[in-house]
């Protein structure tokens, strides 16, 4: 009879505190400081211990077996999804939509996939909405039609959600034949990779220190140096090396598809 009481109590506890999809994995929290585009943003991290511990002082803390922490500010790319590029028809709309949801708000992050460059992470994200309720951001953007399921994603649930958004013509799918971001990137340039000696995100050159518009484009597109493009036109250093010109190809030699 005693065992039955414990069993009943355990079941009741599970009903009160349902297991969330993120609860078994190490997570971090922070405040979104900038939204770069429809699936990329910067977050100022609140350094935490693993799973649900009290917040610690902000700062640089090494990762150990007992702690899962990252220092300072991190650029987050949402995993499994792909929002329109800023140069696409719905690019600015997707960015504004993301700003409305998470800018200057608290989020929870679980790193997913291969390690990115230092300071850049691919992750699942939940944001705190009304009544402090957590909502899964990656899934919501697909549901709204503000993002595609990623080209190489194998998430069947997300694909079902995208098909529903297409069927009901939500977001980008209001168009009869919307172009996916990866098709847009492929059409924009055929890549013949050239790796210049300055191609290093650790550098923090200003616009006046750039040697060329190609270099400025690299820092904007690959290193998320958004301060080089304060007007969010997709063209960095307009008053110096880029001179207000639209530069196709940036790091690459370009063959037109047309």
Residues counted in the chain? 258
C-alpha span between 84 and 160 (Å, rounded): 19
How many other CB atoms are there within 10 angstroms of residue 36's CB atom? 19
28-174 belongs to CATH 2.40.50.90 = yes
pLDDT computed for residue 9 by the predictor: 42
User: Can you list the residues of the chain whose pLDDT is less than 50?
Assistant: 1-24, 49-69, 246-258
Retrieve residue 211's tokens: 């040697």
* Residues 6 or more apart in contact with residue 210 via CB below 8 angstroms: 216, 219, 237, 240, 241
Query: Where do the CATH 2.40.50.90 domains begin and end in the chain?
Result: 28-174
Contact 159, 216 (CB under 8 A): no
C-alpha span between 245 and 252 (Å, rounded): 17
C-alpha span between 78 and 112 (Å, rounded): 9
C-alpha span between 106 and 129 (Å, rounded): 9
C-alpha span between 60 and 63 (Å, rounded): 10
pLDDT computed for residue 115 by the predictor: 67
C-alpha span between 32 and 142 (Å, rounded): 20
Nearest residue to 32 (alpha-carbon basis) of 42, 40, 22, 24: 42
pLDDT computed for residue 84 by the predictor: 96
Contact 105, 209 (CB under 8 A): no
**Residue 237 class from Cβ within 10 Å (0-12 exposed, 13-18 middle, 19+ buried)?**
buried
Contact 44, 33 (CB under 8 A): yes
The dihedrals phi and psi of 32, each to the nearest 5 degrees, come to -70, 125
CA angle 72, 33, 28 (to 5 degrees): 50
């Amino acid at each position: 009879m005693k065992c039955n009481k414990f069993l009943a109590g355990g079941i009741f506890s599970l009903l009160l505190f349902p297991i969330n999809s993120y609860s078994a994995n190490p997570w971090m929290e922070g405040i979104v400081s900038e939204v770069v585009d429809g699936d990329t943003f910067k977050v100022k991290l609140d350094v935490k211990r693993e799973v649900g511990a009290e917040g610690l002082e902000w700062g640089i803390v090494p990762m150990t077996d007992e702690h899962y922490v990252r220092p300072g500010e991190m650029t987050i790319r949402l995993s499994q999804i792909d929002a329109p590029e800023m140069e696409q028809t719905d690019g600015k709309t997707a960015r504004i939509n993301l700003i409305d949801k998470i800018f200057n708000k608290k989020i929870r992050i679980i790193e997913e996939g291969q390690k990115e460059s230092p300071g850049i992470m691919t992750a699942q994200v939940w944001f705190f909405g009304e009544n402090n309720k957590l909502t899964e951001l990656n899934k919501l953007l697909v549901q709204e039609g503000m993002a595609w399921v990623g080209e190489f994603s194998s998430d069947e649930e997300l694909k079902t959600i995208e098909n529903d958004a297409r069927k009901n013509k939500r977001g980008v799918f209001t168009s009869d034949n919307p172009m996916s971001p990866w098709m847009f990137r492929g059409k924009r340039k055929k890549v013949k990779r050239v790796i210049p000696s300055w191609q290093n995100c650790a550098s923090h050159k200003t616009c006046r220190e750039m040697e060329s518009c190609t270099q400025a484009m690299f820092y904007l597109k690959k290193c998320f140096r958004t301060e080089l493009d304060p007007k969010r036109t997709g063209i960095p250093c307009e008053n110096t090396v880029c001179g207000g010109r639209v530069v196709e190809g940036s790091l690459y030699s370009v063959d037109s598809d047309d």
